[in-house]
Amino acid sequence: MFFRIFVLHSAGAALRCRLVERYVLLSTGIADMSNRRLYETVYIVNATLEDAEIEEAINRINEYIVHHGGTIQEVNRWGRRRLAYPIKKRYNGYYVHCTFEASPSSIPIIERYLVLDDSVLRHLTVQLPQRLIEYRAQRAVNSTQQAPAPVAEPTAVPTEQENAEQN
């Protein structure tokens, strides 16, 4: 069950009516915390920053996600790469891929933080579909089951001197 709350904002002389929806679970009293989903975010950090500042920015973003109810599952640092086109007059960026679990109501808050953070050039957050989650789990199981074949020890090829000594 959800409520629709109308909020009036004044912008100059005109009034705008904006629809704000809040989902409230009345029966359990839990507001959207039982409906956690898996998300992926890829964001590009300004590569002109020092390595310590880039790590600080990544840690700051991860702490923000955790502070707003998210659980980080993995963070992949793809490193510095050249951008396909300039973004905010920058030609290089430090790419970071983050997979986390969070409630849907916290995603706009996290994305707003990424927009306002000056060290982040661009970001994209997507919800992972259930089929993709199952596929990745199956692929991980298959990769652990397929152990690499044992590599045979290379045998030494006798040289001409060793052949002569044996005869």
> What tens digit of pLDDT does each residue of 34-69 get?
689 999 999 999 999 999 999 999 999 999 999 999
**Mean pLDDT lowest among 2-6, 60-64, 86-90, 152-156:** 2-6
Distance CA 103, CA 47 (A): 31
Distance CA 91, CA 71 (A): 32
Amino acid, single-letter form, for residue 43: Y
Residue 136: its pLDDT value, please?
Answer: 85
- Beta-strand relationship, 120-127 and 14-23: unpaired
Superfamily per CATH, domain 36-129: Ribosomal protein S6/Translation elongation factor EF1B (3.30.70.60)
pLDDT above 60: residue 24 = no
Three-state DSSP class for 48? coil
Rounded average pLDDT over 8-35: 40
Residue 10: its pLDDT value, please?
Answer: 42
pLDDT above 90: residue 137 = no
- pLDDT tens-place string over residues 83-110: 999 998 999 999 999 999 999 999 999 9
Q: Would you place residue 146 in the very low, low, confident or very high pLDDT band (cuts 50, 70, 90)? A: confident
Q: How does DSSP classify residue 34?
A: S
